[in-house]
């Protein structure tokens, strides 16, 4: 199935040129002239990726991105601007866009960014579907340990004798990823994708993940046997070391 790409740009020539290029690449392309039209389209149509200009009349690109992140969080976003600045780049990264390109961006650069964004979207959706499937599979939700501890991922509960700790959905997803992949090192970026469902940069990923890991470890202090098996790999990510 062809991927659908939305172009949002108030410059008619830029909008038409990019539309023609992407159609030649085999994509379904929709082009609109302002942010409001983009929002109206996305509310009623599935969308794989959006290319949006920063400066437009009415809603600017950052305002459009904020709304799209709410109503269509699986849509990848590329921000195009002729007015690049460090402040704008930081704002864009905080909104978790896929890429930030300066105009005039060359067609090969845009096409390469789009292909990468679509690949990440597919990986994220597939990873989430795999996690949801495994959560419902018989025999995949409960882990028992030699010290009598039980981790019930379907109910997000860890028990040992009279001790019982409940996990949030995000904490449960993080613990599931680690338990289901013993002795595998996951990067911070991989874990954000698998647990939170969106892609982020290598620089930003540790900051996104750190509060979640901290909360999970605080709860695991009640269960030292499990706590000691979840280790930080310096500069890389985390690993669950299985029982010998």
pLDDT tops 70 at residue 94: no
What's the CA angle centered on 5, arms 73 and 128, to 5 degrees? Answer: 35
Structure confidence at residue 1 (pLDDT): 73
Quick one: tokens of 190?
């991989």
Higher pLDDT, 24 or 193: 24
Query: Domains plus CATH for the chain?
Result: 4-128 (3.40.50.2300), 138-240 (1.10.10.10)
**Taking the complete model, does pTM exceed 0.85, yes or no?**
no
Q: To 10 degrees, the CA torsion angle through 57, 61, 67, 69?
A: 170
Q: Radius of gyration of the chain from Cα atoms?
A: 21
């Amino acid at each position: 199935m062809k991927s659908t790409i939305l172009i949002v740009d108030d410059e008619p020539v830029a909008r038409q040129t990019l539309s023609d290029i992407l159609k030649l690449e085999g994509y379904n392309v929709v082009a609109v002239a302002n942010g409001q039209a983009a929002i109206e389209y996305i509310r009623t149509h599935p969308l794989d990726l959006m290319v949006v200009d920063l400066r437009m009349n009415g809603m600017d690109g950052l305002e459009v991105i904020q709304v799209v992140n709410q109503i269509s969080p699986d849509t990848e976003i590329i921000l195009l601007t002729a007015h690049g600045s460090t402040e704008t780049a930081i704002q864009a990264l905080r909104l978790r866009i896929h890429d930030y390109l300066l105009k005039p961006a060359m067609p090969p650069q845009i096409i390469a960014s789009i292909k990468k964004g679509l690949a990440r979207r597919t990986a994220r959706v597939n990873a989430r579907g795999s996690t949801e499937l495994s959560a419902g599979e018989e025999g995949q939700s409960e882990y028992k340990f030699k010290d009598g501890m039980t981790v019930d991922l379907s109910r997000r509960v860890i028990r040992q004798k009279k001790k019982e700790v409940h996990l949030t959905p995000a904490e449960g997803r993080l613990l599931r990823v680690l338990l289901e992949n013993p002795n595998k090192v996951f990067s911070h970026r991989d874990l954000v994708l698998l647990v939170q469902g969106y892609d982020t940069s290598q620089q930003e990923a540790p900051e996104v993940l750190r509060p979640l890991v901290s909360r999970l470890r605080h709860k695991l202090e009640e269960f030292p046997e499990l706590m000691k098996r979840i280790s930080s790999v310096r500069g890389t990510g985390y690993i669950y070391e299985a029982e010998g």
